[in-house]
């Protein structure tokens, strides 16, 4: 079986409230890889149900993530866009990898600790095994590169460890490539607009904490205007942002949206008050985001089209995963 050298896999959970962190930390980077890599972009609905999802909302949110992919510039003709639950290889490989990965590895996962909260006994078994399903997503296609935001780094390390242990246990050196994380750009960790020390997240109770991929131009401008900052003007250098989480976050967002570095943004705005910088950031955000949100809305008014994209994507995904699973079954000794 031939090993692809440039195969990208990544996923986003259909859990609603897609936000600027998802866009800048992940989806926008997915778009850029299409010229150089063979890409699979998945809507990971099986990951979403590790915490409760209303069935009707899950379906709508699945279409929303697919629409966000396409509206952001992912071409579902050239690359593969699909939802995870349509391809049974993910679940099948996840079970086998559950028997390869160690409990000790999962016990170290910080995302589980955060999401399970204090009452860990009440978390689903799926939430605990989540990183193993993620490893299966990637390895079912023997993907080599995985673009993600910084919060997924630890999960990627677990995927690599699991791949390595599988290869060792079943005496199949190099069967699974060790997937490389691609954590790219100036906004690998976008922070809450209300608290620069917390990650921007879909589940923050405050709507003002995040810019979503459904926000109108007015919403975007309002949220930036209200973003938490400090009374100092912008510094001259990146070092000057240390200890100024709110300011650092807005400069990082500006940098990512404009395709510049933080240093270049500061060269332009050093000494500026937030009363000047915030409107400039709002204009830039509206300019970059509204064409995408408008196109997303248009696509979501045509669910039949989105469903057909996901269905065709799943057929192509199965064609890649099925031979991998067949080989895994042989290696394990299933008859």
Catalytically active residues are 115, 199, 202
Where does this chain touch ligand TRP (CB under 6 A) — which range of 144-152, 184-192, 235-243, 301-309?
A: 144-152
Please give the sequence-ordered ranges of beta strands (E in DSSP) within the chain, or none if there are none. Answer: 7-12, 38-43, 80-83, 145-147, 180-182
What is d(CA 168, CA 265) in angstroms, rounded to the nearest whole number? 48
Phi, psi of 324 (to 5 degrees): -65, -45
Query: Cβ of 11: how many Cβ atoms within 10 Å?
Result: 26
In the complex, the smallest distance separating the C-beta of residue 322 from ligand TRP, rounded to whole angstroms, is 19
Among 7, 8, 13, 245, binds ligand TRP (CB under 6 A): 13
Q: Is 117 left (phi over 0), alpha (psi -120 to 50) or beta?
A: left
In the complex, the smallest distance separating the C-beta of residue 159 from ligand TRP, rounded to whole angstroms, is 8
Where does this chain touch ligand AMP (CB under 6 A) — which range of 20-28, 74-82, 218-226, 269-277?
A: 20-28
What is d(CA 203, CA 63) in angstroms, rounded to the nearest whole number? 19
Site for ligand TRP in 46-105 (CB under 6 A): 47
Among 151, 161, 264, 295, binds ligand AMP (CB under 6 A): 151
Query: Can you tell me which residue has the tokens 């400069």?
Result: 251
Q: Does 146 bind ligand TRP (CB under 6 A)?
A: yes
- Rg of the chain, C-alpha, whole Å: 21
What is d(CA 156, CA 188) in angstroms, rounded to the nearest whole number? 15
User: Do residues 35 and 76 lie in contact, with contact meaning Cβ atoms separated by under 8 Å?
Assistant: no
What is d(CA 280, CA 269) in angstroms, rounded to the nearest whole number? 10
What is d(CA 16, CA 14) in angstroms, rounded to the nearest whole number? 6
Where does this chain touch ligand AMP (CB under 6 A) — which range of 55-63, 146-154, 273-281, 289-297?
A: 146-154
In the complex, the smallest distance separating the C-beta of residue 168 from ligand AMP, rounded to whole angstroms, is 28
Q: Does 10 bind ligand TRP (CB under 6 A)?
A: yes
Query: Can you tell me which residue has the tokens 């904490």?
Result: 209
Among 138, 241, 286, 317, binds ligand TRP (CB under 6 A): 138
Among 152, 162, 229, 293, binds ligand AMP (CB under 6 A): 152
In the complex, the smallest distance separating the C-beta of residue 47 from ligand TRP, rounded to whole angstroms, is 5
Report how many residues bind ligand AMP under the rule CB under 6 A: 16
User: Do residues 265 and 254 lie in contact, with contact meaning Cβ atoms separated by under 8 Å?
Assistant: yes
Q: Does 148 bind ligand TRP (CB under 6 A)?
A: yes
What string marks each residue from 118 to 137 as x (binds ligand TRP by CB under 6 A) or -? ----------------x--x
Partners of residue 199 on adjacent β-strands: 191
What is d(CA 44, CA 46) in angstroms, rounded to the nearest whole number? 5
137 binds, among ligand TRP, ligand AMP, none (CB under 5 to 8 A by kind): ligand TRP
Task: Give contact residues for ligand TRP (rule: CB under 6 A).
Answer: 9-11, 13, 44, 47, 134, 137-138, 146, 148, 152, 155
Can you give the binding site for ligand AMP, defined by CB under 6 A?
12-13, 21-22, 25-26, 148-149, 151-152, 188-190, 199-200, 202
């Amino acid at each position: 079986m031939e090993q692809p050298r440039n195969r990208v896999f990544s996923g986003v959970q259909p859990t609603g409230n897609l936000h600027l962190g998802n866009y800048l930390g992940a989806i926008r980077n997915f778009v850029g890889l299409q010229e150089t890599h063979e890409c699979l972009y998945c809507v990971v609905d099986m990951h979403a149900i590790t915490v409760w999802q209303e069935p009707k909302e899950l379906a709508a949110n699945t279409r929303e993530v697919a629409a966000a992919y396409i509206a952001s510039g992912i071409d579902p003709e050239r690359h593969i866009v699909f939802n995870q639950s349509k391809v049974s290889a993910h679940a099948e490989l996840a079970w086998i990898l559950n028997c390869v990965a160690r409990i000790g590895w999962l016990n170290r996962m910080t995302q589980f600790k955060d999401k399970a909260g204090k009452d860990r006994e009440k978390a689903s078994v799926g939430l605990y095994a989540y990183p193993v399903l993620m490893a299966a997503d990637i390895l079912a296609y023997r993907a080599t590169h995985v673009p993600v935001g910084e919060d997924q780094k630890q999960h990627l390390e677990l995927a690599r460890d699991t791949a390595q242990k599988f290869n060792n246990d079943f005496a199949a050196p190099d069967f699974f490539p060790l997937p490389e994380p691609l954590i790219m750009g100036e906004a690998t960790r976008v922070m809450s607009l209300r608290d620069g020390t917390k990650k921007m997240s879909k589940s923050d109770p405050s709507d003002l904490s995040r810019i979503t991929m459904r926000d109108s131009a007015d919403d975007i401008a309002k949220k930036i205007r209200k973003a938490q900052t400090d009374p100092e003007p912008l510094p001259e250098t990146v070092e000057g942002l240390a200890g100024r989480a709110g300011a650092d976050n807005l400069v990082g967002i500006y940098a990512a949206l404009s395709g510049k570095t933080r240093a270049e943004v500061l060269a332009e705005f050093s000494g500026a008050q937030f009363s000047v910088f915030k409107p400039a950031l709002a204009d830039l955000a509206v300019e970059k985001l509204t064409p995408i949100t408008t196109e997303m809305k248009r696509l979501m008014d045509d669910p039949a089209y989105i469903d057909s994209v996901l269905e065709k994507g799943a057929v192509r995904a199965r064609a890649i995963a099925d031979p991998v699973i067949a080989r895994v079954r042989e290696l394990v000794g299933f008859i």
